Each structure stands twice: as structure tokens, then as C-alpha cells.
Amino acid sequence: MPVECPLLMRVFVVRFLLLTKPTVNSKIEAVTDLTVSDLGVIDEPAAAAAVLDPIRARVLSELRQPGSATTVAAALGETRQKVNYHLRALEQLGLVRFVEDRPRRGLSERVVVASARAYVLSPEVLGERAVEPDQTDRLSSNYLIALASRVIREVAELTRRAEAADKPLATLAIDTEIRFASAGDRAEFTRELTEAVADLAARYHDEQAKGGRWHRVITLAHQRPPATQPTTARTTPTRKATP
């Protein structure tokens, strides 16, 4: 009788998030708060092309801390003129923000900073080609991907509205890992989880509540990818501790 390999599935730790400024804004202005957002959501094709461009991606990486065309050029081994050209383009797209003019050798040098430490592309950049959950088979893995894409698009839009109203956006994220011993255990877990979610939804749903707000609750599970192995071996010899 064949032995079933343990299954690794990804399911949900409860975490409440207050998203403040994770989206890229096209408005360019001097900033006094140098705090860089952890995440920027890009939903315009031109901005998406910029972050996918190898040179501009390297420029953005260097600008996680404020810098100038001179400092970035020195770090990348490029000419100041070339880097300055890319900086201007990134600034126009809202991917770089102006910080200050800094005196340098009798001239004024622009100091800028990236709008975020990392970026994610919204399905909005694909326009009509963006996937919608109702266009895919609900029993396929593509349906899970479509749901994830919709989350990015909708939460990014809600965040922009919250920013415009100067209010935080409260969200709920659940993320943990579980190792199933067998397919049977996985099926039983799925049944119990489905019943629990259905019970909670029935208990708290109020169709007629005055001032109530609709929310999406999405439960996802997928196998965890294999752990990434080091691409290079360590060359530093191990030394014994000195007595």
C-alpha cells in the first residue's frame, strides 16, 4: 500500500493591518517626512514599465534612502547625466519624491527618495485583459490567482480613498502554515474550516443593519513552494572557538 507524503499547505496568523500610504501617488511635492512606505501598488502601465526596466529598478533600489543623481551614479557605476535622466522620469511617474535642494560645489543638487521600498503591480495595468474571478473555473488554481488579483486591485483603490479622507483603512489578514499528514486530514480540515466560516458568516451577517458595511472574506490555501536552496556554497572556513 503506497505511503502518502505529508502535504504542505498554506493557510492563514490573525493580523489587523492599518494601511496608511502603500500606493504610488502621481502628485510630486517636497517631503518633510522621509518615511518611505513599505509597499507601493502600481496601477498605471507607464509606472509598471519603469519598475520593470533594469536600470530604473536599480535606481529605485538605491533610493530607499534619500540620494541624488551623483550618489546614485557612483553606486551604480553610471554617469551622472544618465542617472539624472532616469530620475526625472521616475519622479514624473510618482515613483520618486523630491526631498530637498542640497548645495554642492556652488550649485544646487536635487535630493530625492523612492516612494516605497517595494512595489507590486495591480491587475489594473492590464486594462481589459485583467482577470476577474467570475471568468475562471471556481475549482481551478486560476480562480485562487484571480481572487488574489482582485484583492490587490480593490484594496489599492480603497487605500487611495482612505488617504484622500485622511483616514486609516482597517483590514484583516490571516497567514500561517500547517503540515497535513495525509490527504484525508486535509479534506477533514477543509470541511471543518468551511463549516466554521459559514457559521460565523451566518451569525454576524445583517442584511438590514443601518450603517452596516459590506466586507469580502476570502479563505485560501495552497501548497507551500519548496524551500529555496542557497545558490552558492559558503567559502568562509569555520573556526573553532578559542578556549
Count the Cβ atoms, other than its own, within 10 Å of residue 21: 19
What pLDDT, on the 0 to 100 scale, is given for residue 33?
A: 46
SS3 at position 207: coil
Cβ distance 45 to 72 under 8 Å?
no
Is pLDDT of 207 > 50? yes
Q: What is the pLDDT of residues 102-131, one digit of tens each?
A: 887 767 889 999 999 889 999 988 888 888
Copy the grid coordinates of residue 12. Answer: 492563514
What pLDDT, on the 0 to 100 scale, is given for residue 93?
A: 94
**Amino acid identity of 33?**
D
Beta bridge partners of 119: 40
Q: What is the pLDDT of residues 10-50, one digit of tens each?
A: 444 444 443 333 334 333 333 344 556 888 999 899 999 99
Task: Sketch out the chain's domains with CATH numbers.
Answer: 1-19+170-204+218-223 (no CATH), 40-119 (1.10.10.10), 127-167 (no CATH)
Cβ distance 153 to 44 under 8 Å?
no
Of the given ranges (117-121, 140-144, 229-233), which has the lowest mean pLDDT? 229-233
What pLDDT, on the 0 to 100 scale, is given for residue 240?
A: 43
What pLDDT, on the 0 to 100 scale, is given for residue 233?
A: 47
